[in-house]
Structure 1
Amino acid sequence: MGEEDENLIRMAKQMGRDVPDKIKNKPQLSDDLIFYYQAFIDLDTTRTHNMSPTPISWLSIIEYARFHNLNDEDTNELIQIIRAMDRVNLKHVEQAFKDKT
């Protein structure tokens, strides 16, 4: 649980209110999935931001895998997972752009 969540819980208790559902029922990632989540967050910073959102580059994912000394099987899994996460993320970003216009 992050510092922001802890602050919200403390404030809710101080005010005599229930802890918000989004914190109380927050999904917990298993340890093996935290790596992929962090990888996506790190790799998201490598994308180019031109006129429209662009996917995370394959080369960036490969470099990330090399930095973390992943074997071929784990590298292929990283590529598949990051690309799947990125497709979903891009859909949300594209929809947000459409909603703004």
Structure 2
Amino acid sequence: MRGFLAVIALLITTSAMADAMRCGSRLIREGDTQTAVRDLCGDPSDVLSRSILRRPTYFVGGREYYFGDAMVEVPVEIWTYNLGPYKLMRRIRFVDGLVEEIETLGYGYRPPATD
């Protein structure tokens, strides 16, 4: 039974860690702004920009409420951080300027030499 509880605790800890990214001694989490991420982590290796359509929303007391049925265009940016061949790359998805998702990718690579 103890072994089972230890495995459950490990899974819970691992899933909670997937929602954050460490830059130096600071932690980037869901809800952080693009400016905060750039200030703490520097410029990303790659940026992909697009937009999505969704209903207007606002938050009151931590709950999300929809406002009307019309769709609005919301900017989405996906930043990729290549941290080198000995560290895992990270992908951060921003929706409307806020971190929505942080994903861990495979090992990074050495950037091509520029002459």
Output the TM-score relative to the length of structure 2: 0.23
Higher helix share: 1
